[in-house]
Amino acid sequence: MQQYSLNLNRNDFGDIQYAGSILSPEAAKGILDDWVKNDRLKVHMKQVAHLMGAYAKQLGLSDLEVAMWYQAGLLHDADWDQWPDQHCRKIIEELESRNVDPTLIRAIASHGPRYFGVEPVSLMDKMLYAFDELSGFVHAYALMRPEGYVGMEVKGVKKRLKDKTFAAQVSREDIQDASERAAIAVEDLIYFVISHQANADLS
């Protein structure tokens, strides 16, 4: 992520009276299509959304919570394409204006703590932070492999992580930090991404 002065200078997001309120799938897709013109970024956002939804399902969360996790992943970078200097202030304000659950908004606000100044607290916060950089990295690795995700192994991803020239824009520091905050080994996070990301709906 490029360095901008992105600190949000706030820690409270949304209004608790809207707990349980999320966008309709159509409204969320509308923001994605209207705000994000970069197809590669769209792929990233859909892949992170898929990982978030899959992880929430694995936890046995309710359908509403699964949808909330999915939507946090889908919209976390919505303003990056057109308004990088307002990332992620603009999408937060948009979701607040649409009366979205504050826990979803806060997850988006905390997906880059050293950029936005918001610490990941809930498990949803931590997993969005954990999947964000790692998802993009694993996808970059898949694109360079003739067989893509098929047969991909954790050790192959780890080897590439050690190569600082490969996908150099991906912060290894953030991946490690997110792993520690979520109390999940990097190897386990990589395995989850490999196992689920290829099945993401990119339509």
Tens of pLDDT, residues 2-40: 444 589 989 999 999 999 999 999 999 999 999 999 999
Residue 9 lies in a domain: no
Residue 6 lies in a domain: no
**Separation CA 203–CA 201 (nearest Å):** 6
Residue 76 lies in a domain: yes
Residue 175 lies in a domain: yes
pLDDT at 5: 55
Number of domains in the chain: 1
pLDDT at 203: 86
Tens of pLDDT, residues 108-134: 999 999 999 999 999 999 999 999 999
Residue 3 lies in a domain: no
Q: What is the signed CA dihedral for 9, 14, 16, 17, rounded to 10 degrees?
A: 150
Tokens of 31: 């923001």
Residue 36 lies in a domain: yes
Residue 203 lies in a domain: no
Tens of pLDDT, residues 130-155: 999 999 999 999 999 999 999 999 99
Q: How confident is the model at residue 1 (pLDDT cuts 50, 70, 90)?
A: very low
Q: Which is nearest to 135 in space by CA: 13, 21, 52?
A: 52
pLDDT at 148: 95
CA angle 143, 196, 1 (to 5 degrees): 55
Tens of pLDDT, residues 59-74: 999 999 999 999 999 9
Range of the domain at 71: 17-197
Q: What is the signed CA dihedral for 161, 115, 143, 29, rounded to 10 degrees?
A: 150
pLDDT at 123: 98
Residue 4 lies in a domain: no
Whether the predicted model's global pTM rises above the 0.85 cut: yes
